[in-house]
Structure 1
Amino acid sequence: MRPVRSSRSAPGNRGPALPVTLRADVLASFVVFLVALPLCVGIAVASGVPAELGLVTGIVGGLVVGVLPGSSLQVSGPAAGLTVLVHEAVDTYGLAALGAVTVLAGLLQIGLGLLHLGRWFRAISLAVVQGMLAGIGLVIVLGQVYALADTAQPSGGVRKIAELPSLARSVASGGAPLTAFLVGAGTIAVLVLWPRLPGRFRVVPAPLAAVALSTAVVAVGDLNVAKVRVSGLLDAVDVPGTAAFGALGGLAAVGTVLAFALIASAESLFSAAAVDRMHDGPRTDYDKELLAQGVGNTVSGALGALPLTAVIVRSAANVQAGARTSASRVLHGVWLLLFAALLPGVLSVIPLTALAGVLVHAGGKLIPVKDLAPLWREHRGEALVLAATATCVLVTNLFEGVLFGLLLSVVKTAWDTSRLHIEVHTLTGGRLLATVTGNATFLRLPRILEQLESLPRDRPIELDLTGLRHLDHACRTALDGWAARHSVSGTEPVRVRLPTAL
């Protein structure tokens, strides 16, 4: 992408650069709108809420977040990464409480932004983030593969896996499930093959092309597949009342709000870091971006809509389409609003299986299949954290999976930093010198004691700890205990040399 140009006149130009910039932003906004439209609708349907709420969330992402400072080129809206969490919240607390959860999550994000904590989200282990996204991708794929066949998906990742043979038998038996599955599979095939077509075809974004072609096939063939239900934009908006907030008094609800806020924040700020690498314009202010996302979620929740995040698919489309300023993301919200107001009936002809195909493809892209083998060869511990996080997200839920991944990452880091080396040398007179270097923490305590306790008791021993960079309380106490025991049973007391800093 070329650098963002100044609005001043360049030598030799007849007029200011502003019209050029505006034209680029308008064209980019149409591309982002065409990418966002099927994703907004598909994510809403997959989350178990009316399709119109996905459009409302996309509109807020454009018109509200788009005008706020933070990141100038990334685009916000409903995210596939929150689909699982939203579905669980709707199942647990009801659709009416979804807006309340989103409002509270938005207010929490605003608080985090005001406390200047946005930059700290960049300190989260990349393996945990990739594991979280991989787990979300697995849950989306396993859930939406049932929607491909117009079949209700079972709850829980384990049941989704266990009932796959039953789904396969249902599809193989023919009839409506097979018809729907073929339409959905065709949608995925278009998404996979579309980037390989000549450039004149790729002017139309792949998700829009795939959904449009599947819709045309269903219409021409008069196929019996389920379609999106439409009730109208204003009918879908449901401002949460006191009863909706009152339903969130339990500890589990607090965990849900925290999960919404933290995961949406992390996804948005990691997306910002990725988008910044794609252009040479202004860099993201992470605290301001977190504030903008919080305001967006507060407004979206006040309308009873979905939580929003910055979305890398739309943001990448915006940059690649030549956007210069934040006007492109604001205008994409305008086009979504006009579509929802003037052409809502178009949604009712879209097959659900086509939207499921879009989400299966999106979920699959969240799983870093190509990165796993190199990561395993070069950073085996990081690969284990990634796999464990993804597995935990799949078998439990998103919040618990991420917490487990963070805990595992902390333990791994502590283990890596507590590297320890013990050497035993024989000095003149038969005296043994045990030298311990590195970081002595409780994680390495079993190894230290095993090696020291294996030393002979009939020879004088000197324990040199001056090479330690860190000696925690557990190790200090254990080493003092070992020295006392060895001194009683040995030929003479153990001499211990400690570093002056410790």
Structure 2
Amino acid sequence: MFSLLKDPSVLRRDILASLVVFLVALPLCVGVAVASGVPAELGLVTGIVGGLIVGALPGSSLQVSGPAAGLTVLVYEAVQEFGLGALGAIVLVSGLLQLLLGALKFGRWFRAISVAVVQGMLAGIGLVLILGQVYAMADTDQPSGGLGKIAGLPDLAGSVVSGGTALTAFLIGAGTVAILVLWPRLPARARVIPGPLVAVALATAVVAVFNLPVAKVEVQGLLEAVQPPGLGDFGDLAGVAAIGTVLAFTLIASAESLFSAAAVDRMHDGPRTDYDKELMAQGVGNTVCGVLGALPMTAVIVRSSANVQAGARTALSRILHGLWLLLFVALLPAAIGVIPLAALAGVLVHAGCKLIPVKELAPLWREHRGEAVILGITATAILVTNLFEGVMLGLLLAVCKTAWETSHLHVDVRELTGGRLVAAITGNATFLRLPRILGELEALPKDRPIELDLSGLRHLDHACRVALENWAQRHNDAGTEPVRMLPPAGAAVQVPSASST
């Protein structure tokens, strides 16, 4: 990296890119923290760690790390269940697990996770995020649980329509969403300033000019907000629920970071990501965030793509963006306190909508219906239950679907001279196909010699082997002709033929 800094043009590009990323990250760091139910400063702490520490580590040179909207739901649930003090302990242990996974070279294996499960995970997070933040847009407390949020929508609509503070705040949030939707359609020169910053700044200005009675971000101060976890907080992690939360943090933060790295690699021609090193870098970042009691971090595609599109060439841009965040917190902490919560909620509602792959659903249904079903079930399960259980269900369905599709087989029965029948089974014989195999074999006549040819099988699992041997024995006991079995080609242990009685 430092050799490239000898080129002034590269240095200039990286500095400009770092400013763009800083302007994108600032409202998102604050918004994610507020939506997670923690002090706004903790989101900025995570952004600073993601820039100054993770930015300097090897892995992916251009992707940017910080607090992510994708973890907002999980963090909020963790804070509600275990308390703010335990959050640092959960993040710290998750970071150590990421370090261990990276050291054991597990980074590359995260790329093997089904895309449908990842899309379903993001869609589920997006739905929960939208349902939660639409209440925040109206300065109203959100019900617990996805179903509770859905059931409470009529009352929310009634509160907004009736006017008062709820309507004022909702209009601020809706205006923020409208700016974010329209911003990409403006000329390129107008889009030099990032849309989230413009939307939040305009909403803040409107609230200040008209002195609107809406809730604003509460400012505690950086030192007051940073509270390292104590020994008692680590003791709270012994329960099953806490362990599940730690695993969910580790799995989702790692998967999101590495999928982001793959996407960022497609955006530029520079060095490719070392997935194991990137996983360890994320682990270092989350360990530090855990020590500081801050939010968990992931690599974030919005900030990363802004970094690449702004012309960044080296890791210096993401390091400097962390420095700008630190200077902002140190020099202008009071500026956070004038931001209306409804505007930040609008930013996150827009981010939640972008997590739902609406344009990809119809083509996916036409071409890969099973993948679309997995996506839908995963997203619905996350909405109805929680993030960890929804992802685990999606992974289980993906494995079952793959096992079913790879166990294709064909049973061909033909008659030879002398009345002898040959039943040839080809493909992969697994327990999933036993009903079909046994159904066709049991329909064969019992008074004619049968040869069961397994030489065309690529795989024969133990369940099928035992079931076929039992069928041959039963057929011999009930009929007059024995069954002759030809084992799979190259089998180390031949399938024994059942002897006639």
Do these two structures clear the TM 0.5 threshold for a shared fold by scoring above it?
A: yes
Q: Find the partner of 1:343 among 329, 332, 336.
A: 332
Q: How many residues get paired?
A: 491
Choose the corresponding residue for 1:154, options 127, 143, 148: 143
1:231 maps to: 220
Q: How does 1:107-122 map to 2 (within 5 A)?
A: 107-122=96-111
Query: Shift in Å at residue 482 of structure 1?
Result: 1.2
Question: 1:356 aligned to 2:345?
Answer: yes
Listed as ranges, the matches of 1:361-400 within 5 Å are 361-400=350-389
Q: Which secondary structure state, in structure 2, belongs to the residue aligned with residue 411 of structure 1? A: helix
Distance in 1 separating the partners of 2:231 and 2:246:
16
Q: CA deviation at 1:6?
A: 7.6
Indicate if the aligned counterparts of 2:18 and 2:318 stay in contact, CA closer than 8 A.
yes
Checking the alignment, whether the CA contact within 8 Å between 1:37 and 1:55 is kept in structure 2 is: yes
CA shift for structure 1 position 485: 1.3
The answer to whether the 8 Å contact 2:446/2:481 transfers is: no
> Once the 2 structures are TM-superposed, how far is the Cα of residue 200 of structure 1 from its aligned partner?
1.8
Name the counterpart of 1:435. 424
The answer to whether the Cα contact below 8 Å between 2:257 and 2:300 also exists between their aligned partners in 1 is yes
Where do residues 25-424 of structure 1 align in structure 2 (5 Å cutoff)? 25-424=14-413
- Residue 153 of structure 1: how far off its partner (Å): 0.7
CA RMSD of aligned residues (A): 1.4
Q: Following TM superposition, by how much is the alpha carbon of 1:265 offset from its aligned partner in structure 2, in angstroms?
A: 0.9
Distance 2:270 2:486 in 1: 57
Partner Cα separation in structure 2 for residue 98 and residue 160 of structure 1? 24
Shift of 1:491: 3.2
3-state SS of 2:411 partner: strand
Aligned to 2:477: 488
SS of equivalent to 2:270 = coil
Which stretch shifts more, 24-33 or 117-126?
117-126
Distance 1:171 1:451 in 2: 64
Q: Which moved more, 1:337-346 or 1:168-177?
A: 168-177
Match of 1:463, SS? strand
Q: CA deviation at 1:5?
A: 12
Q: Is the 8 A contact 1:275 1:315 kept in 2?
A: yes
Gaps of 5+ in 2: 492-501
* Paired letter, 2:65: S
Deviations 1:92-125 (A, max 9, x none): 1110111111111111111111112111111111
Alpha-carbon spacing, 1:101–1:5, altered in 2? closer, same or farther (3 Å): closer
Q: Provide the C-alpha distance between the structure 2 equivalents of 1:500 and 1:119, rounded to a whole number of angstroms.
A: 34
Q: Identity of counterpart residues, as a percentage?
A: 75
1:316-367 alpha-carbon deviations (Å, 9 max, x no partner): 0000000010000010001101111111111111110110110011011111
Structure 2 residue identity aligned to 1:425: R
- 1:407-437 residue CA offsets vs partner (Å, 9 max, x unmatched): 1111111111100111121222333221111
What do residues 358-396 of structure 1 show as CA deviations (whole Å, max 9, x unaligned)? Answer: 001101111111111111111111111111111111111
Structure 2 counterpart of 1:493, one-letter code: P
Q: Find the aligned partners of 2:85 and 2:148 in 1 and give their Cα distance.
A: 27
The 1-side partners of 2:174 and 2:449 are apart by 75
Q: How far does the alpha carbon of each residue in 1:114-151 deviate from its partner, in whole angstroms, 9 at most, with x for none?
A: 11211111111111111111111111011111111111
Q: Is the 8 A contact 2:456 2:489 kept in 1?
A: no
8 Å CA contact 2:135, 2:141 repeated in 1: yes
TM-score by length of 1: 0.95
The answer as to whether partners of 1:460 and 1:490 remain within 8 angstroms in 2 is no
User: How far apart in 2 are the matches of 1:6 and 1:487?
Assistant: 79
Q: Unaligned 5+ residue runs, structure 1? A: 8-15
What is the TM-score with the length of structure 2 in the denominator? Answer: 0.96
Query: What letter matches 1:210 in structure 2?
Result: A
1:49, 1:29 → 2: CA distance? 26
Give the match for residue 10 of structure 1. none
State the alpha-carbon separation in 2 of the partners of residues 495 and 96 from structure 1: 69
Which letter maps to 1:225? V
